[in-house]
Structure 1
């Protein structure tokens, strides 16, 4: 009875109740579905984030490996550059010209007589020279005099003051003619060993002063001495001379010749170091990022195999550890052959640009940067038949251009179990490397890296106040001191340029803290972007960054 009354009351609302129940059930099912989907999406996002983080860590670690690999390869490259471009040897030769040279004994009596007359003329040219000679020989005045030699000829010379000086042909010599005098430069007397080569600029100043002090009579007589010496040396020896003797008998170079050679060689070595170091950096980045990408793909495939989601790594394109060793050995080409080709281009450009620049010229930062920019233009661009400059391809300097050179490289590296020809994975890696090296992205990255490396040279010279300008010295707190310096002469800048070139070739103890160029290139955003393109294997290489 009660149940029937309840049914009668619900019957009018049965449809509404059914609708409400259906809606509630639908909402429950939809909510459950949405919660499941959200959980799946959250898990997927978390997994993608973890994958991205793992990929980012792998990429950053790979870039650090590139820096350490570059520092490990640097000693091999620097040893060859420093040996073949020995700036320090030229500096030593300049220092030797400032030291008194021992006189070479010549048995010919006529030659001895000629030299005695030259000494008499050179020693009596000015009273100041006589005083210097007398003061330098005062320490040895207590020694017993040498026995008189038979007189064979006597030369009487009248100086500018009207005095007559007699010099016996084979008698006792009162002085000797050094290398600098034979070349039209004054002899330095009383200079101690510690004073020799105090600075390159002081040597250059002494050379200029010496040329002004010589009179016409000295220059004419000294030219006769050089003629006699050359005629004596030109006589054929009884036996072949060793290289050291041939070097001693060769006509010595003047200070001006050595300074010009030093100027060109200093810039050539430093700029060659910057070019080869930048190219080696980019090549190492491409190689290790390609291998890093293959390693990451291989690890993902192995993980899928472990989870039963796919098959393991297989196929001809799979890179083995042996293939990686062979592929990395291709940097041998740049470190042993390619850098010399780059050095030839740099040397030609330096001769054209820096050759006419006088050593006395003062260079501010703007002028110095303009000279470097002109050298870069000649090195990095080639003129075609239509006289339109086009970017120079550095690919032949980085990889062997022909099959014969490739075979030569494989023979020189002689790794264990090295194949006679590259395997399929190595050919694939080389093809990919050539593609990246020929892409516009590489040209853009190379240009930015070289500009950064050359900028490091300018900054280093600016910090040492070689190029003049205004600098601000922090005195502590709010106080600052503005210091204005004048630009130095090119002869003084050479020492700092050579020092920077040598420092850029040092490995910094494998800690990455001692090489300014390597550290600055490692932090370059353009290089990091190019490395990311290679590592992630984007196809839009011709679109740049």
Structure 2
């Protein structure tokens, strides 16, 4: 039996060897293919997790931007409302009319003005709304220099200025007060819209730049095996701010305090520019004038052209940087006024050079972003949304009483004819604008900010800031000193770049400019 088996093996030695080789080769190939498939699955899974984490971090960053704007806006609103106290002018008009009513009418006097006749009922409504909005009552109005006098007791002063009377300055007429009210009400509401839009843009730039630094730091830490797990969504609570926006807490805190400039200095320059445009456009209007909706919309557009620019080229060249960032010689003043330097004076000498260099890079990149055409384009869209909310919705519904669209967006009646034919008195428009100024600055929820954040290009702009210039960021911050660099273009979703968990993946440098990244983000949204 054994001899028979040996003879059979000798006769079939070659086919058996071939069969064993084929089976062995097939096993090896199968194991190789299975290993490659498993590696591909793990790589795809890790990339999917990284993309999801990046998306969650980006979305969380945008929510932080919204809350930051809502926290900072009341400061600017308070300053603007104090600078242009429309309610005090209204109360002065009301007091003047009340005083005239006590004295009684004179038949030989001039004909009654618009404030004495057709505006009586409307002024009553305006006064009620003004007092409810601002909490200011007639008894709380401080006497102005026009109603009080402070005669000098020094004879020397009287001799030096013999031509100046010691009596009180002449009080403004009712027409002058109405002119002041017109300029104040319109300027204040328009200034708040500009301030809100600029604050939203500036906050997006700041937090997304810091969010980008935080993300790159976490990726590099993972690449150098300092983290055992994949990139996770970090806590963005106040007690974990250093992890949420990078490890250089001192630099980040100083950088974030530069919003102080817009809230305390920049708003005044914006208000001056807006007031000049409003005086040019609305200065010829009288409280007796009847204004149509289309007429007011045209005048508003004229103001915007004077402030922002009449052509696309002029809008791109508009100088917004001086409203958002201080000159270099005043940067230390901003940090000092915000209280950062006074909190830790002992730490100012430690690492001051590196902190200043890092802060300088952040400020320079912020300035480049603000001066870019993309910033002006997105800002124009935000202003379009803000003015549309004020004029096309609030003013149309409350002042002109146009029918509001239904939930499905269908108008009950066509308002196009009413916009041409219906005319209302200017004071009624001013009353709505005065109330809306408080809504723009202190509304909860803030409908104007919500409308601005619905602009899709704002998220695309934030994504560009978050995902662009990663190579320079890593190189300048020295993050790659101990990490292995693996260049690998990553696909984006709505402008957001993904990172692999085992290597540092940077943005494609074929279009490293901001405009190129912006075009890619818009293409992804289309």
Q: Same fold (TM over 0.5)?
A: yes
Q: Take 1:2 and 1:124, find their aligned partners in 2: how far apart are those partners? A: 145
Within 1, Cα distance between the matches of 2:337 and 2:174?
42
Alpha-carbon distance in structure 1 between the residues aligned to 2:154 and 2:452: 56
Higher relative contact order (CA 8 A, sep 6+): 2
3-state SS of the aligned residue for 2:256? Answer: helix
User: CA contact under 8 A between 1:473 and 1:481: conserved in structure 2?
Assistant: yes
- What is the match of residue 374 of structure 1? 302
45 and 487 in structure 1: CA distance in 2 versus 1, 3 angstrom threshold: farther
Show structure 2 runs of 5+ residues with no match. Answer: 129-145, 158-164, 230-245, 470-511, 520-526
Residue from 328, 331, 348 that aligns with 1:406: 331
Q: Secondary structure at the match of 2:424?
A: coil
- Check 1:302–1:79 CA distance in 2 against 1; reply closer, same or farther (3 A cut): same
Distance 1:507 1:289, change over 3 A: farther
Q: Whole-Å Cα distance in 2 between the matches of residues 307 and 333 of structure 1? A: 39
Q: Within the alignment, does 1:529 sit opposite 2:460 as a pair?
A: yes
Partner of 1:498: 434
Shift of the 254–22 alpha-carbon distance from structure 1 to 2, 3 Å rule, reads same
Q: Does 1:81 align with 2:80?
A: yes
SS at match of 2:442: coil
Tell me the distance in 2 between the aligned counterparts of 1:468 and 1:413: 45
Q: Secondary structure at the match of 1:488?
A: strand
**1:524: how far off?**
2.5
Q: Is the 8 A contact 2:269 2:323 kept in 1?
A: yes
Q: Is the 8 A contact 1:270 1:497 kept in 2?
A: yes
- Are 1:393 and 2:319 counterparts? yes
Per the TM alignment, residue 17 of structure 1 is displaced from its structure 2 partner at its CA by 4.6
Pairing partner for 1:432 from 365, 374, 380: 365
Count of residues in Structure 1 that have an aligned counterpart in Structure 2: 416
Cα pair 2:468 2:514 within 8 Å, conserved? no
Change (3 A) 1:187 1:50: closer
Alignment of 1:87-486 (within 5 A): 87-100=86-99, 123=106, 125=108, 185=112, 197-199=123-125, 238=153, 249-303=168-222, 304-307=224-227, 320-381=248-309, 391-403=317-329, 405-415=330-340, 416-417=343-344, 419=348, 423-461=356-394, 464-467=397-400, 471=404, 482=413, 486=422
8 A Cα contact 2:293 2:396, kept in partner: no
Call closer, same or farther: CA 1:236–1:438 in 2, change over 3 Å: closer
Change (3 A) 1:321 1:235: closer
Q: Encode CA deviations 1:330-365: one digit per residue, 9 max, x unaligned.
A: 111111111111111111111112223444444444
8 Å contact from structure 1 (residues 440, 541) kept in 2: no
Which stretch of structure 1 is more off in the superposition, 57-66 or 405-414?
Answer: 405-414
Query: Is the CA contact 1:99–1:188 (under 8 Å) kept in the aligned structure 2?
Result: no
Q: Which residue does the alignment assign to 2:504?
A: none
Structure 1 range deviating more: 419-428 or 489-498 = 419-428
Superposition deviation, residue 528 in structure 1: 0.8
Structure 1 residue 471 displacement after superposition? 4.6
Higher alpha-carbon Rg: 1
Distance 1:266 1:325, change over 3 A: same
Gaps of 5+ in 1: 105-118, 126-180, 203-229, 310-317
Tell me the alpha carbon deviations over residues 491-538 of structure 1, each in whole angstroms, 9 at most, x when there is no partner. Answer: 211111121122111062xxxx2x111222233211111111111225
Question: Structure 1 residue 411: deviation in Å?
Answer: 2.8
Superposed CA deviations along residues 416-472 of structure 1, whole A, max 9, x for unmatched, are 236498611111111121121122221211111111111111233355253465555
Q: Secondary structure, in 3 states, of the residue corresponding to 1:306?
A: coil
Please report the TM-score for the alignment, with normalisation by the length of structure 1: 0.67
Aligned to 2:21: 22
Q: CA RMSD in A?
A: 4.0
Q: Deviations over 1:58-97 (max 9, x none)?
A: 1111111111111111121111100001111111111112
Q: Structure 1 residues 247 and 374, CA, compared in 2 at 3 Å: closer, same or farther? A: farther
TM-score normalized with structure 2 length? 0.69
Alpha-carbon spacing, 1:65–1:187, altered in 2? closer, same or farther (3 Å): closer
Partners of 1:28 and 1:362 lie apart in 2 by 91
Say if 1:329 and 1:413, in contact at 8 Å, map to a contact too.
Answer: yes
Output the CA distance in 2 between the equivalents of 1:425 and 1:325. 12
